[in-house]
Amino acid sequence: MLMVFLLFSCKKERSDFIWERSLSPGDALFIAYAPDSGIVSCGVMNSQPYLLKLSKDRKIVADYNYGSEGQFSSAWSDTSGFIAGGNSDGKMLLVRLDKEGQKIWDTTISASFNIDLSTLIYTGTGTFLAVGSIDPAADADASGILFIRFDTAGKVLQHKEITDPNFISANSATVDNAGNIYLALTMRNSGANSRAAAAKYNSDFQKIWETELYNNPDVSSACLGIVLSGSDSLYVTGKTEVARTDGTLDNSYIASLTKTGMVGKKKYLENSNSGSALICINTDQIMMLNRNCFIIINIDPVNGYNTNLIRMFGVCNSYTTDAYGSALDLNYDGNIFVAGSKGGNFYLALKSSSQ
């Protein structure tokens, strides 16, 4: 049974930056806390895949441009270097770099459809999973999911392509300790509108279940982010639409699912916004990024209400902004890294999480 929570409660809004940096034209699509307390981010800069490593004191220690059109949408790092996943010329792109940002190897993998997004997940013992699909905004007839398992030397260990006429894109992915894969999906309706869904695949890339997230068929929706919590529940975020006098308007949401695919609580958050990313900061406490204006929401899903709202900018209108957030993470002292674009530029910021 679906439970919808419409209560929107915030204790305090804050807008104090610790640090921010705007680089060349582009978009930061990923950010993560590095093992040496630095920052790893990647995305697109000047229409090319780009990766950036900052030290703990936020100085550039490595950066890399792939040299052809495309983007990096996910990355992994350890003390020896980086692996980035993305796309180039409609193919999945995987690149290994050393700690100075020099290329060790790269490979591109074709599918029967264009690859725009690649989610990269370290699965242990030197192996990685890459999940590729088109961008949900792409107007494409052919679409599907490309699963690739590979090692640190770039050797492909498993390869599976899945096509489905109802499928549009896999926008985010996560795995559990058993190797099961959970996907945030955008699917096709019988009409023109898209619908949000989530799915579970086993480690051999066989679908276990697929669940629609209570969609109104009269409007479009999408599932854009997914995270597995410490209590083994799933949380997803994305956007749906709400009617207005001159058409429709995006509305962000968060929803919970069991690991068997049953939908639990669902909460609608802010008009003229979409949920773009989720992280689990402790058992059953979720931090969510609303795309427009980088609005961060600390959510206690157990009780179904917001515990805190953090606005990155003191003055920012979600209806007209040019500041768009794609990813977030916590650094070593619990403050919040965010990545996205501002004014059309590749943009990173560090925000205080303290009261």
Choose between 190 and 50: higher pLDDT: 50
Predicted TM-score (pTM) of this structure: 0.92
Confidence of residue 6 (pLDDT cuts 50, 70, 90): very low
Closest CA to 91 of 68, 65, 116, 64: 116
What is the residue-averaged pLDDT of the chain? 88
> What is the rounded average pLDDT of the residues 30-46?
95
Confidence of residue 140 (pLDDT cuts 50, 70, 90): low
| Tens-place pLDDT, residues 158-211 | 999 998 888 889 999 999 999 999 999 999 876 678 899 999 999 999 999 999
Per-residue pLDDT, 4: 36
Residue 236 scores a pLDDT above 70: yes
Give the lowest-confidence range in 70-74, 100-104, 187-191, 276-280: 187-191
Residue 8 scores a pLDDT above 50: no
| Tens-place pLDDT, residues 153-164 | 999 999 999 988
Per-residue pLDDT, 296: 92
Per-residue pLDDT, 96: 98
Structure tokens at 100: 């100075």
Residue spans of the domains in the chain: they are: 3-351
Residue 11 scores a pLDDT above 60: no
Structure tokens at 254: 């968060």
Per-residue pLDDT, 246: 64
Tell the CATH topology of 3-351.
Answer: Methylamine Dehydrogenase; Chain H (2.130.10)
Residue 68 scores a pLDDT above 60: yes
Angle at 50 between CA 55 and CA 37, to 5 degrees: 20
Residue 37 scores a pLDDT above 80: yes
Closest CA to 284 of 236, 244, 229: 229
Residue 63 scores a pLDDT above 50: yes
| Tens-place pLDDT, residues 291-346 | 999 999 988 766 666 668 888 888 899 999 999 999 999 988 889 999 999 999 99
Give the lowest-confidence range in 13-27, 29-43, 109-123, 156-170: 13-27
- Cβ proximity of 223 and 184 under 8 Å: yes
> What is the rounded average pLDDT of the residues 209-232?
87
Per-residue pLDDT, 139: 58
295-300, strands of its sheet edge to edge: 275-282, 285-290, 295-300, 305-310
| Tens-place pLDDT, residues 342-354 | 999 999 999 987 6
